[in-house]
Amino acid sequence: MQDIFEQEMSRPTIFKDRNVLSPHYIPDHLPYRDGEITRIMKAIAPSLSQKRPNNIFVYGKTGTGKTSSTKHVLSRLGEAAQKYEAPVEQVYINCRIHNTKYQVLLKCAERLCPEESFMGHPATFLYERLLKEVAKKAVTFIVVLDEIDKTKDLDELMYSLTRSNDDLLQGHIALIGISNKIDFKEKLDPRSKSTLCQEEMVFAPYNAEQLQAILKERTVEGFKEGYVEDSAIALASAYAAQESGDARYALKLLLKAGEIADEQNKRVTDEDVKNARNAVEEDIVLELIQTLPDQQSIVLFSVATLTEEGGKYQRLGGGGNDPALFSGEVYQRYQTVCKQWHRNARSARWVREYLNELEMLGLITTELSGKGIRGQTRLIRLSFPAEKVLSAVQKRFAE
Ligand SMILES: Nc1ncnc2c1ncn2[C@@H]1O[C@H](COP(=O)(O)OP(=O)(O)OP(=O)(O)O)[C@@H](O)[C@H]1O
Ligand SMILES: [Mg+2]
Mind listing the pLDDT tens digit for each residue in 280-303?
Answer: 888 888 888 988 888 999 999 999
Provide the residue type at 101 as one letter.
Answer: K
Name residue 380's beta-bridge partners: 325, 366
| Minimum CA distance residue for ligand 1 atom 18 | 65
Rounded Cα distance, 292 and 396, in Å: 9
Rounded Cα distance, 196 and 192, in Å: 6
DSSP code of 115?
A: T
pLDDT at 394 over 90: no
pLDDT at 373 over 60: no
Q: Are residues 120 and 193 in the same domain?
A: yes
Tell me the mean pLDDT in the region 68-73. Answer: 96
| Minimum CA distance residue for ligand 1 atom 16 | 65
| Minimum CA distance residue for ligand 1 atom 27 | 62
Q: Are residues 324 and 246 in the same domain?
A: no
DSSP codes of every residue in 319-341: TTT---EEHHHHHHHHHHHHHHT
Select from 268, 289, 310 the last residue of a domain: 289
Tell me the mean pLDDT in the region 72-101. Answer: 95
Provide the residue type at 21 as one letter.
Answer: L
Q: Are residues 343 and 382 in the same domain?
A: yes
As residues whose CB is below 5 A from the ion ligand 2, the structure lists: 67
Q: Are residues 333 and 240 in the same domain?
A: no
Tell me the mean pLDDT in the region 214-222. Answer: 96
| Minimum CA distance residue for ligand 1 atom 31 | 26
Tell me the mean pLDDT in the region 81-101. Answer: 95
Q: Are residues 195 and 82 in the same domain?
A: yes
**Residue 19 is assigned to a structural domain of this protein:** no
Number of domains in the chain: 3
Q: Is the CB of 248 under 6 A from ligand 1?
A: yes
Mean pLDDT check: name the lowest of 47-56, 219-228, 261-270, 315-324: 315-324
Q: Are residues 258 and 231 in the same domain?
A: yes
Contacting residues for 311 by C-beta, under 8 A, at least 6 apart? 323, 324, 325, 326, 329
What does the buried/exposed string (b/e) look like for 278-290 if buried means 16 or more CB atoms within 10 Å of the residue's CB? ebbbeeebbeebe
**Residue 115 is assigned to a structural domain of this protein:** yes
Q: Which pLDDT value is given to residue 215?
A: 97
Tell me the mean pLDDT in the region 371-380. Answer: 71
What does the buried/exposed string (b/e) look like for 67-76 if buried means 16 or more CB atoms within 10 Å of the residue's CB? bbbbebbbee
Rounded Cα distance, 282 and 3, in Å: 33
Q: Are residues 153 and 221 in the same domain?
A: no
Residue whose C-alpha is closest to residue 248's, from 67, 69, 72, 62: 62
- Average pLDDT in the chain: 91
**Residue 8 is assigned to a structural domain of this protein:** no
Q: Is the CB of 27 under 6 A from ligand 1?
A: yes
The number of beta carbons lying within 10 Å of the beta carbon of residue 202 is 13
Residue whose C-alpha is closest to residue 332's, from 318, 322, 345, 343: 345
Q: Are residues 231 and 356 in the same domain?
A: no
Q: Which pLDDT value is given to residue 225?
A: 95
Tell me the mean pLDDT in the region 361-379. Answer: 77
Q: Are residues 163 and 48 in the same domain?
A: yes
The string of pLDDT tens digits covering residues 112-141 is 999 988 888 999 999 999 999 999 999 999
Q: Which helix (H) or strand (E) holds 296?
A: helix 294-309
CATH at residue 218: 1.10.8.60
Q: Is the CB of 318 under 6 A from ligand 1?
A: no
Select from 229, 260, 289 the last residue of a domain: 289
Report phi then psi at 142, rounded to 5: -95, 120
Give the pLDDT band of residue 321 (cuts 50, 70, 90): low
CATH at residue 345: 1.10.10.10
Q: Are residues 71 and 152 in the same domain?
A: yes
DSSP code of 264?
A: T
Q: Which pLDDT value is given to residue 167?
A: 83
Rounded Cα distance, 364 and 369, in Å: 15
Select from 235, 258, 289 the last residue of a domain: 289
Domain that holds residue 97: 34-203
Tell me the mean pLDDT in the region 307-320. Answer: 69
Q: Which pLDDT value is given to residue 268?
A: 97
Give the pLDDT band of residue 375 (cuts 50, 70, 90): low
Rounded Cα distance, 245 and 247, in Å: 6
The SS3 call for residue 168 is coil
Q: Where are the beta strands (DSSP E) in 185-235?
A: 199-203
**Residue 223 is assigned to a structural domain of this protein:** yes
Q: Is the CB of 65 under 6 A from ligand 1?
A: yes
Contacting residues for 287 by C-beta, under 8 A, at least 6 apart? none
Q: Is the CB of 247 under 6 A from ligand 1?
A: yes
The string of pLDDT tens digits covering residues 6-56 is 877 778 899 999 999 998 898 988 999 999 999 999 999 999 998 999 999
Q: Are residues 217 and 155 in the same domain?
A: no
Q: Choose between 313 and 171: higher pLDDT.
A: 171
Q: Is the CB of 64 under 6 A from ligand 1?
A: yes
Q: Which pLDDT value is given to residue 273?
A: 97
Give the pLDDT band of residue 365 (cuts 50, 70, 90): very high
The string of pLDDT tens digits covering residues 163-192 is 888 888 899 999 999 999 988 888 888 888
The CA angle 387-278-269, to the nearest 5 degrees, is 140
